[in-house]
Structure 1
Amino acid sequence: MSFDEEWATARATAAANAALRLDHAGSAPGTPDLALNQDHIGAIGSEAHKLHSRLQTDGRHAATASTEAAGALSREGFATGAALAKANSRWESQVKTLVAACAQISNGLNYSLSSHAKEEQQLYAEFTSSKIDEYLK
């Protein structure tokens, strides 16, 4: 499947799911609108970390060869040497951007998992103490 076909499929799927909303106005009382499934979040964070690690090595697989080829072509007077050097530089820049994005996703999800439980405990404690305070008055 080509990239264009995959992209079209992904867009069609997103459009079909556009009716889903996180803030369901008609939710039944006591039914959470948004539930955090820690297993799913953890799996996504893990995959982002794996992609980060793979991009750091595999994304630079041809860097040395491309640099050497660009230098050799330039020394022989070929204009393609400069073009190859520019393409290699752009590639390196894009790989660095992707690596940073994967790290940000992985770290953000890990932080979300660890802080979510703490926030839930704090909210529960605040709610419980406010109810206790209400009954004591």
Structure 2
Amino acid sequence: MAWEEWEQLKAEAVQRGSTRMQLNQNPADQGGDGTQGDLVAGHADLESVGKAAHDLFEGFTAYSGHARVASVAAAGGLKAEGYALGAALEHVAERWSEQTKTLLDACAHISNHLRYTKNQHTADDSYIAGTVSSIATLDEGFDDRKGH
């Protein structure tokens, strides 16, 4: 915006007598589900990601446990028979266990973070609505002091 344009807008505002603060806002009726506020964290796609992460956590916990137990048992059997492959399989089973924990932690983190985000956005939206709605009360107080 050029300086001249800014000066013109200020002059027009003075002519209109608009010296009070004005908040931009969305039109009251925009359709949708009737909820108030701009922050929406309940989208079906986010919910499906959270559910998929939770389902993966639940399913993978069981299946990875079976694989680990079977691998450790096989490794023990091979080692007992003197096969070097037993130690290698044991090493693979240990790495499998470590990687499984990492994946399960990531799934839990995704699911928990989405749940936290949804709750936090709801709380933030409520706080913002309360703060913005109190501006009218504050404005009335200033009007009373001016004698309007």
* Pairwise same-fold verdict (TM > 0.5): yes
Partner of 1:61, secondary structure, is helix
2:75 is matched with 70
Which of 38, 50, 55 does residue 55 from structure 2 map onto? 50
Q: Which residue of 2 aligns with 1:132?
A: 137
- Maintained 8 Å contact 2:39/2:122: no
Gaps of 5+ in 2: 1-24, 27-37, 143-148
CA displacement at 1:121 relative to structure 2:
0.8
Give yes or no for the alignment of 1:103 onto 2:108.
yes
- Structure 2 residue 88 is the aligned partner of structure 1 residue 83: yes
Query: Distance in 1 between the 2:103 and 2:94 partners?
Result: 14
**Structure with bigger RCO (C-alpha 8 Å, 6+ apart):** 2
Question: Do the aligned partners of 2:41 and 2:117 also contact (CA within 8 Å) in 1?
Answer: no
Deviations 1:39-77 (A, max 9, x none): 222221111110110110112232222111111111122
- Match of 2:66, SS? coil
Aligned structure 1 segments of 4 or more residues deviating by more than 2 angstroms: 34-37
Q: TM-score w.r.t. structure 2 length? A: 0.64
Give identity over the alignment, percent.
33
Question: Structure 1 regions of 5+ residues with no counterpart?
Answer: 1-28
Q: Which amino acid aligns with 2:133?
A: T
Q: CA deviation at 1:37?
A: 4.7
